[in-house]
Amino acid sequence: MISKELLDILRCPACVREKDGFLKIHQGEWLICQDCDRKYPIVDEIPVMLIDEGDKWVAVLEKDLPLPPPPMK
């Protein structure tokens, strides 16, 4: 589980220079940017904060995100 302290400092890498890039936790398995709606999986308790990974999931609705996220390839 992502601690509140870590969530307080993490920002969406795609948004952080122009917007706030605040993230929210979804089902303990995803971080979702509140500005651009990119979704970053949490794999083995490690947030995968790669823009390319967030881009893969941007069009997927929050309710349709797979739980748990698929393993990284």
* Residue 39 located in a structural domain: yes
pLDDT at residue 36 greater than cutoff 90:
yes
- Residue 12: predicted pLDDT: 97
* Residue 73 located in a structural domain: no
- Tell me the mean pLDDT in the region 7-28: 94
Question: For residue 24, what pLDDT band results from cuts at 50, 70 and 90?
Answer: very high
High-pLDDT (> 70) share of the chain, %: 99
- Tell me the mean pLDDT in the region 42-55: 95
* Residue 71 located in a structural domain: no
Q: Higher model confidence: residue 60 or residue 72?
A: 60
Is 23 buried (19+), middle (13-18) or exposed (0-12) by CB count in 10 A? buried
How many residues are present in the chain?
A: 73
Residue 28 structural domain: 4-64
What is the number of structural domains in the chain?
A: 1
* Residue 37 located in a structural domain: yes
